[in-house]
């Protein structure tokens, strides 16, 4: 018999949720003063961080992806760093390396110099431009929050989050991320072009004598407390069943949907369900609720599943797309 869900909210959790909702509203307001017209992207990025995860931002250059990460670092009170991924980037450029040095007694010793990964919010810019060897340097950091250099583990700061960017158009000279690394990202967030009114505001506000600046809304400690709170929020049976239906039907060997079995080459693993269990709670908290709904599962299906599924060659040749496939999955749980 499976484990039972606890759907009760104790008074302490409810009070902590009220404080968190106010703080998150303030954070979103501060971000909106710098990053225009990307409310959906901002909310997904916040949900990924509140869930303790990482996010892959996919969009063409110039859509404020870098600005968003820098602003998030300031507003959330996190130490941030940026790495520009290029074909000649080496793992040591990310993780750090040992150098030969002298101690106070004049003896030669190896000293570890930390790389830029030792931060709280890491922007991996154009992550698919680095070689697979360099990309893999982030695997341990993203999953275990530590890196191993010369056989010695080094813990990363808490919290630790990676927000990576990727250009969906330019594919020459790039190295597609392997499935194992894509699965480390809680969300794939597609960043689109702004609306007309928003683009007008961008042109006016960013070409004047003064530029808008971000303001701090919380500390790293308060963010960690919120991440713990997210895990305490209750999840009802209807939400759990919706998550299980979505994830299991996305796998061709388990799906109850004929078209999925015919078109999907491989589907999501258990990490997709874990991501939804956390992210739906984070989304609810951001929106001022203490418990997620089935609508939250449907809303987050795309960001969670988009990078965890692949269509067969025949399906792609016939014009099938991942997003259309995910729409079929969402319709099945309505």
DSSP output for 108-126 = EEEEEEE-TTSSSEEEEET
Residues 73 and 161 sit within 8 Å (Cβ to Cβ): no
DSSP characters over 169-182: S--TT--PPPHHHH
Structure tokens at 250: 């996305």
Torsion of CA 176, 250, 180, 78, to 10 degrees: 90
What's the rounded Cα separation, in Å, for the pair 180 and 126?
18
- 27 burial (CB, 10 Å; 0-12 / 13-18 / 19+) is buried
User: Nearest Cα to 250, choosing from 168, 323, 177?
Assistant: 323
Whether the pLDDT of residue 120 is over 90: the answer is yes
What's the rounded Cα separation, in Å, for the pair 124 and 196?
29
Going 167 to 169 to 170 to 175, the CA torsion angle's sign is positive
* Strand 96-102 versus strand 108-114 pairing type: antiparallel
pLDDT confidence of residue 334: 64
Cβ neighbours for 217, distance < 8 A, ≥ 6 positions apart: 23, 26, 27, 29, 30, 75, 76, 77
pLDDT in tens, 235-254: 999 999 999 999 999 999 99
Residue 3 banded pLDDT, cuts 50, 70, 90: low
Residues 122 and 78 sit within 8 Å (Cβ to Cβ): no
Least trusted range by pLDDT, from 50-54, 170-174, 179-183, 208-212: 170-174
Average model confidence (pLDDT) for the chain?
A: 89
Residue 208 banded pLDDT, cuts 50, 70, 90: confident
DSSP characters over 289-311: -SS--HHHHHHHHHHHHTTS-EE
- Residue 312: CB atoms within 10 A of its CB come to 15
Whether the pLDDT of residue 173 is over 90: the answer is no
Residues 266 and 309 sit within 8 Å (Cβ to Cβ): yes
What's the rounded Cα separation, in Å, for the pair 45 and 187?
8
User: Nearest Cα to 57, choosing from 326, 310, 319, 306?
Assistant: 306
Residue 1 banded pLDDT, cuts 50, 70, 90: very low
Q: Mean pLDDT over residues 50-74, rounded?
A: 90
Q: What are the domain boundaries of the chain?
A: 10-231, 233-334
pLDDT confidence of residue 199: 87
Whether the pLDDT of residue 4 is over 60: the answer is no
Whether the pLDDT of residue 109 is over 90: the answer is no
- DSSP code at position 235: -
Share of the chain above pLDDT 90, in %: 57
- CATH architecture label of 10-231: 3-Layer(aba) Sandwich (3.40)
Whether the pLDDT of residue 42 is over 50: the answer is yes
Whether the pLDDT of residue 303 is over 60: the answer is yes
pTM: 0.90
CATH pick for 233-334 out of 1.10.10.10, 2.40.50.100, 1.10.599.10, 1.10.8.80: 1.10.8.80
């Amino acid at each position: 018999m499976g484990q039972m869900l606890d759907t009760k909210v104790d008074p302490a959790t409810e009070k902590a949720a009220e404080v968190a909702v106010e703080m998150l509203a303030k954070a979103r307001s501060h971000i909106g003063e710098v990053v225009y017209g990307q409310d959906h992207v901002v909310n997904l990025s916040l949900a990924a961080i509140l869930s303790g995860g990482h996010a892959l931002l996919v969009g063409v250059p110039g859509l404020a992806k870098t600005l968003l990460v820098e602003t998030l670092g300031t507003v959330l009170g996190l130490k941030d760093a940026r790495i520009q991924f290029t074909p000649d980037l080496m793992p040591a450029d990310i993780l750090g390396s040992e150098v030969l040095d002298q101690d106070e007694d004049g003896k030669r010793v190896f000293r570890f110099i930390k790389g830029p990964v030792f931060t709280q919010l890491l922007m991996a810019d154009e992550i698919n431009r680095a070689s697979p060897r360099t990309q893999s340097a982030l695997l341990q950091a993203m999953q275990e929050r530590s890196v191993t250099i010369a056989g010695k583990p080094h813990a990363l700061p808490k919290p630790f989050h990676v927000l990576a960017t990727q250009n969906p158009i330019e594919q020459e000279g790039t190295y597609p991320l392997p499935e194992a690394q894509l699965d480390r990202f809680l969300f794939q967030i597609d960043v689109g072009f702004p609306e007309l009114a928003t683009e007008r505001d961008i042109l006016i506000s960013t070409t004047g004598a003064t530029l808008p600046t971000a303001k701090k809304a919380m500390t790293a400690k308060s963010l960690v407390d919120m991440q713990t709170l997210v895990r305490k929020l209750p999840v009802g049976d209807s939400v759990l069943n919706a998550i299980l239906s979505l994830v299991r039907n996305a796998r061709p060997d388990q799906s109850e949907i004929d078209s999925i079995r015919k078109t999907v080459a491989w589907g999501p693993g258990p990490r997709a369900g874990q991501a939804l269990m956390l992210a739906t709670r984070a989304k609810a908290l951001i929106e001022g609720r203490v418990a997620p709904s089935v609508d939250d599962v449907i809303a987050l299906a795309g960001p969670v599943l988009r990078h965890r599924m692949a269509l067969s060659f025949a399906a792609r040749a016939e014009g099938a797309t991942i997003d259309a496939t995910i729409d079929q999955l969402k319709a099945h749980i309505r």
